[in-house]
Amino acid sequence: MKIKSASFVISNSDVSKCPKDRIPEYAFIGRSNVGKSSLINMLTNQNKLAKTSGRPGKTQLINHFKINDSWFLVDLPGYGYARVSKTIKKTFQGFIKKYFLQREQLICTFVLVDCRHEPQKVDLEFMEFLGENGIPFCLVFTKSDKLKLSELNRNIQQYSKKMTNTLWEEMPPYFVTSATSSDGKEELLKYIEEINNRLDKNL
């Protein structure tokens, strides 16, 4: 898939005010400072579509971007550590949960994890929430340029072992990406394109 257009549509914290377009929606979410905004900018060939920051917790709303006038990329607030008050953090969790439980247009969620770290409890708990509610998701390992291939493979195996030893029969689909080198870009966009093509055939 080639992204020819990517435009910001709306930011809000009220799921009922999300776009009414009946087109596929793909959500991107992860712990604060996982590299989500950088990844979105890399995928869309734009430097400033999603706001990047060295300070965790920059994204604080549900952000909709329309891609190729045919699907939405949704940038969601990070979970876990962020320099925001407990009240604001609870608000994040509230409307994020409503988004996942109420948004009928949502087709797949991409859960971003930093490939440099071993499986984190907060990531596993979030994926458990998605699984329990029947929300399809994929794993996206970010910052792959920061590790040697052997270390990267070891950490991915740790995720596979951790997940299959708990609630999962097998590891969900996953992508290895780098916003710096653009690794994983084609594979991830191709995955979205294949889903969109299947949806078109079923209409």
CATH number (domain holding residue 161): 3.40.50.300
pTM value is: 0.89
Q: Which domain holds residue 117?
A: 6-202
Residue 195 placed within a domain: yes
Q: Which residue has the higher pLDDT, 166 or 177?
A: 177
Residue 1 placed within a domain: no
Residue 10 placed within a domain: yes
Residue 198 placed within a domain: yes
Residue 154 placed within a domain: yes
Query: Does residue 162 have a pLDDT over 80?
Result: yes
Domain total in the chain = 1
Pair 127, 109: CB distance under 8 Å: no
Q: How far is CA 197 from CA 11, 28, 71, in A?
A: 27, 20, 12
> pLDDT, tens digit, for every residue of 4-48?
999 999 998 889 999 999 999 999 999 888 999 899 999 998 877
Query: Does residue 54 have a pLDDT over 50?
Result: no
Residue 78 placed within a domain: yes
> pLDDT, tens digit, for every residue of 83-127?
545 554 554 567 888 899 999 999 999 999 999 998 888 888 888
Indicate the range of 46-55, 69-78, 192-201 predicted with least confidence.
Answer: 46-55
* DSSP character string of 133-189: TT--EEEEEE-GGGS-HHHHHHHHHHHHHHHHTTT-SSPPPEEE--TTT-TTHHHHH
Q: What is the pLDDT of residue 192?
A: 97
Query: Does residue 174 have a pLDDT over 50?
Result: yes
Q: What is the pLDDT of residue 138?
A: 96
Q: Which residue has the higher pLDDT, 92 or 66?
A: 66
